[in-house]
C-alpha cells in the first residue's frame, strides 16, 4: 500500500486492555484549568514507570462543563482498577486540589465508580461538607482560596492502551513535522490521548533487555545510528523514526485516531521526506488488540 508516495507496511500495532476514566477539571479561566490538568497528567507517559498513562483529551467550553466555567477533559489509563484508583487519588489530590480556583467532576457517568473526591474529602479535617445534587454526590472541601468542589466518584471503563504507528523519514525535522501534523489531526478526535510529550515518542522500546533489571529497552531495529550492526528494519536513507502512541476508550477510537494521524502524516508525502509508516508489535502474542495498518487505511 502506498499513500502519496509513503509506503504503508503490512504489519500491525499491538495494544492491551486497560482500565480508564475521564475527569473534568474546571477553573476560573482556561489558564488555571490547564495548569491543573497539565500537572495532573504530567509524568504519565507510560505505565512502565509512571503508574498510569494520562493526557488532556480536549478543552471544555463553559457551556460544556458541569459548573459553567472553562475547563479541560483528562483521560487516565492504568493496567488495573486498583492502580487507576491510586493514581487518580494522588494526581487529583496533589495537582487539582492544590490548583487555585479548580474543581473536579466525573467525565464518565456509567461504568464502575471509583473514588474521585471520596477520600480527598478528608483533607477538610472534618470541615468538609457533602451535597447530593441531581443524584450525584459532591464534596466541598474548605481550602485557603475558598472551597474545592469535587465529585465523589467517577466512572471507570474498560479501555485500550498502546495503539501506535511509526513514521520513518529522511531526516529528523521531516519526521517531527509529520508527527506534528498527525498529532494535530488526532487531537480533534474524542476519547483518545497521545500520552507522550507533545504526543510523540522518539525512544520506542522493545520488550526486555540484555540487562536483567530492565523490562524494556531501545527498539534497536528502528534505531538509525546502529543500523549497520543490528537486524535493522531501516532501509538506507532513513535517518529518523518517531512513534505516536495512542490510548483510547475503545478499539474503534484508536482505529479512528490512527487513520486520522497516518492520513495527516501521509499528506506531507514522499516529497517532504516521509518514506514509510510502520507499527510496533510483540509478535501478536502479548496484546489482545491488533490494529492492521493496511486494514485501517484501506
Partner 1 sequence: MTALTFTLKDVPRQRVDCSALTPTRLAGRAPADISAIELPCGNRKPRVGELFDLHGEDTSNLVFRNACDRLDRIGEGMFDGAIQVQGDAGAYLGLGMRGGRISVSGSCGAFAAAEMRRGLVHVFGNAGDFLGAALPGDRQGMRGGMVIVGGNAGDRCGDQLRRGAILIEGNAGDYCASRMIAGTIAVLGVLGTYPGFAMRRGTLLLTSLPVSLPANFGDCGTHDLLFLKLLVKSWKSLDSQFAHLEPSTRVRRFLGDVSCDGKGEMLFWA
**Residues binding partner 1 (CB under 8 A):** 66-68, 103, 126-127, 129-134, 138, 140, 146-147, 149
Q: How far is CA 225 from CA 80, 174, 240, 293, in A?
A: 37, 17, 9, 26
What is the spatial distance between Cα 217 and Cα 236, in angstroms, rounded to a whole number? 23
The cell numbers describing 290, all together, are 491488533
Q: DSSP readout, 98-119?
A: TSTT-EEEES-SSSEEEESSTT
| Residue nearer to partner 1 on the CB measure, 142 or 269 | 142
C-alpha to C-alpha distance for 285 and 132, rounded to whole angstroms: 47
Least separation in angstroms between residue 127's CB and partner 1 is: 6
The nearest distance, CB 72 to partner 1, in angstroms, is: 17
Task: Render the burial of 111-148: b for 16+ CB within 10 Å, e for the rest.
Answer: bebbbbbbebbebbeeebeeeeeeeeebbbbeeeeeeb
Rounded to the nearest whole angstrom, what is the least distance from the CB of residue 68 to partner 1 in the complex?
Answer: 6
DSSP, collapsed to helix, strand or coil, labels residue 268 as helix
What minimum distance in Å lies between the beta carbon of 58 and partner 1? 22
Could you tell me the smallest distance in angstroms from the CB atom of residue 105 to partner 1?
A: 9
Shortest Å distance, C-beta 152 to partner 1: 13
Kind of pairing, strands 153-169 and 112-115? antiparallel
Residue 48 or 129 having the CB closest to partner 1:
129
- Number of C-alpha atoms within 13 angstroms, CB side, residue 44? 30
Is the CB of 4 or the CB of 101 nearer to partner 1?
101
Amino acid at each position: 500500500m502506498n499513500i502519496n508516495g509513503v509506503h504503508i507496511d503490512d504489519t500491525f500495532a499491538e495494544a492491551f486492555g486497560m482500565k480508564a476514566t475521564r475527569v473534568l477539571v474546571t477553573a476560573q479561566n482556561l489558564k488555571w484549568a490547564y495548569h491543573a490538568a497539565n500537572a495532573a497528567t504530567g509524568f504519565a507517559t507510560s505505565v512502565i514507570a509512571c503508574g498510569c498513562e494520562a493526557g488532556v483529551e480536549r478543552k471544555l467550553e463553559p457551556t460544556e462543563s458541569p459548573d459553567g466555567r472553562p475547563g479541560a477533559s483528562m483521560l487516565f489509563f492504568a493496567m488495573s482498577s486498583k492502580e487507576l484508583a491510586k493514581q487518580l487519588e494522588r494526581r487529583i489530590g496533589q495537582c487539582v486540589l492544590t490548583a487555585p480556583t479548580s474543581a473536579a467532576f466525573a467525565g464518565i457517568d456509567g461504568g464502575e465508580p471509583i473514588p474521585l473526591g471520596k477520600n480527598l474529602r478528608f483533607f477538610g479535617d472534618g470541615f468538609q461538607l457533602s451535597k447530593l445534587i441531581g443524584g450525584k454526590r459532591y464534596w466541598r472541601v474548605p481550602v485557603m482560596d475558598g472551597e474545592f468542589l469535587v465529585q465523589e466518584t467517577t466512572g471507570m471503563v474498560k479501555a485500550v492502551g498502546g495503539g501506535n504507528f511509526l513514521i520513518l523519514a529522511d531526516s529528523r525535522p521531516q519526521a517531527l513535522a509529520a508527527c506534528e501534523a498527525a498529532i494535530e489531526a488526532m487531537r480533534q478526535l474524542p476519547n483518545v490521548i497521545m500520552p507522550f510529550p507533545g504526543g510523540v515518542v522518539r525512544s520506542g522500546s522493545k520488550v526486555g533487555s540484555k540487562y536483567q533489571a530492565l523490562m524494556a529497552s531501545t527498539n534497536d531495529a528502528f534505531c538509525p545510528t546502529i543500523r549497520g550492526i543490528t537486524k535493522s528494519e531501516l532501509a538506507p536513507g532513513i535517518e529518523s523514526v518517531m512513534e505516536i502512541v495512542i490510548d483510547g476508550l475503545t478499539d474503534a477510537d484508536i482505529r479512528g485516531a490512527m487513520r486520522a494521524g497516518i492520513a495527516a502524516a501521509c499528506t506531507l508525502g514522499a516529497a517532504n521526506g516521509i518514506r514509510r509508516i510502520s507499527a510496533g508489535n510483540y509478535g501478536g502474542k502479548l496484546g489482545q488488540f491488533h490494529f492492521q495498518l493496511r486494514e485501517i487505511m484501506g
